[in-house]
Amino acid sequence: MNERSQPTPNRNRSAGAGTDDGAERASRATQAQSKLLFYVALFCIFVIVYASLQPFTGWAESSAAPFDFLTKFSRHVSRADVIFNTLAYVPLGFSLYAMLPPSYGATKRALWMLTATLALSILVETLQNWLPTRVSSVNDTLANAFGAVLGAAIASRVIAQQNFIAVLRRWRESLFVSGATGDLNILLLAVWLIAQINPGIPLFASTFHPGFITAFDPVIVAVELAQTTAALVGIGLFTDLTMRKRWLGGIALVLVVACAVALKTIAAQWLLTPIAWEAWLRPGHALGVALGAVALLVLFWLPRRLKSIVAGIALLSSVFIPLVLPDLVTVRAPTSLFNWSYGQLLNLNGLTRTIVVLWPFIATAVLFFRFGGDAKGNRSVT
């Protein structure tokens, strides 16, 4: 009885204090069980570094001192660049702020987050001094800092909503597989969906759109069909293996594929020229989607461990099948198909192509580690 009566004094606390304590407990519990925010931060850093330094060639000695750009403001500032540089750091600011221990307090969290994001921004801007195709600017650093602060402010508001955090935590525990590999699965699915915003890479493909020629060549159709089928099977099974229950896997599979098709279609209509949109969906890819969907109806019922093996084989095959036709692999980004500025297009094509090529290898490795060594976690999932 005495132990049950101890919490009573807490009811006399102010409503604000109760909310802060509840939010802190919810945040601490979530961080103790999930590394998702840490993985999100790592991915954000990868995207920022890649987008800032690609194509990683043409390095040359700079006549300016490394940090001269911090004392000079650019006279000509593009609105698109400001928006891009701001938005690029919002997810990083959010994830860094949210992943720091609640015991740090809001001020200490914000200072650590701002220090880390500023260090990253200054580092990449400094390295751009040695890339003739890049221009270092303090304007970019200020936009980056603003985006990071904006992300942290959003994270602060979200963390304060203890009921919302509790709901997210319940969803995470009830819908998705547990453990660090489960967190990676969730992030990888989100990353793959994000990569679908580039219509220059056909749906479930790993090579750029080859243009308007050879669409009906039997060899081309066969290779594109095989590659698309393997990719759809691999991604579909990976999605199913991310969910805790088999019936959830079926629903998630349909939702992920539907979202991918919607994102790719919207991006194609928005970014491609009208004539390119008419020839966007090639016959090999269309047939591959149909064949992959039929194969998934059968493979969906395999045991999870066997399903993970098939998924890994399919994902890796989707990368290696195009090697049968070297000309298809070496196709350059079809910039003529796009109705978009060249600078932004360079970032989009380079980043998304890298993601779709590396994604199958990372996803296969995650499946291997989960089903190769996390036996306890596998037994708890049906």
Q: Which residue, 95, 16, 11, is CA-closest to 48?
A: 95
Contact yes or no for 145/121 (Cβ under 8 A)? yes
Contacts of residue 320, defined as CB under 8 A and 6 or more positions apart, other chains included, come to: none
pLDDT at 79: 82
pLDDT at 62: 74
Domain assignment of residue 194, yes or no: yes
Which of 131, 155, 172 is the endpoint of a domain? Answer: 172
- Tell me the pLDDT tens digit for each residue of 21-42: 444 444 444 444 478 999 999 9
Per-chain mean pLDDT for the chain: 80
The residue among 349 and 25 whose pLDDT is bigger is 349
pLDDT at 226: 92
What is the mean pLDDT of the segment spanning 335-353? 62
In a shared domain, residues 69 and 30: yes
For 333, which DSSP code?
Answer: P
Angle CA 364–370–376, to nearest 5: 165
What is the mean pLDDT of the segment spanning 273-296? 77
pLDDT at 206: 75
* Residue whose tokens read 């993985």: 39
The residue among 257 and 15 whose pLDDT is bigger is 257
Secondary structure class of 176 (helix, strand, coil): strand
Q: How confident is the model at residue 272 (pLDDT cuts 50, 70, 90)?
A: low
In a shared domain, residues 235 and 107: no
For 272, which DSSP code?
Answer: B
In a shared domain, residues 232 and 365: yes
What is the mean pLDDT of the segment spanning 360-376? 80
In a shared domain, residues 148 and 233: no
Domain assignment of residue 205, yes or no: yes
Tell how far CA 274 is from the center of its chain.
28
What is the mean pLDDT of the segment spanning 46-68? 82
Contact yes or no for 182/43 (Cβ under 8 A)? no
pLDDT at 339: 47
In a shared domain, residues 222 and 168: no
Domain assignment of residue 4, yes or no: no
Q: Minimum mean pLDDT among 92-101, 151-160, 179-188, 333-342: which range?
A: 333-342
Which of 133, 149, 172 is the endpoint of a domain? Answer: 172
Secondary structure class of 243 (helix, strand, coil): strand
pLDDT at 65: 76
- Tell me the pLDDT tens digit for each residue of 184-230: 999 999 999 988 887 777 778 777 666 655 667 788 888 889 999 99
Residue 380 pLDDT > 60: no
pLDDT at 378: 46
- Which structure tokens are listed for 336? 């003529």
58 φ/ψ sector (left φ>0, alpha ψ -120 to 50, else beta)? left
Residue 337 pLDDT > 50: yes
Count structural domains, the chain.
2
Residue 87 pLDDT > 90: yes
Residue 76 pLDDT > 50: yes
Which of 172, 188, 204 is the endpoint of a domain? Answer: 172
Domain assignment of residue 229, yes or no: yes
For 31-55, letters b (16+ CB in 10 Å) and e give bebbbbbbbbbebbbebbebbbbbe
Please state the pTM of the whole predicted model: 0.79
In a shared domain, residues 116 and 223: no
Domain that holds residue 49: 14-172
Residue 341 pLDDT > 60: no
In a shared domain, residues 166 and 189: no
Tell how far CA 4 is from the center of its chain.
46
In a shared domain, residues 121 and 183: no
Residue 248 pLDDT > 80: yes
β-sheet bridge partners, residue 338: 272
Residue 171 pLDDT > 80: yes
pLDDT at 11: 42
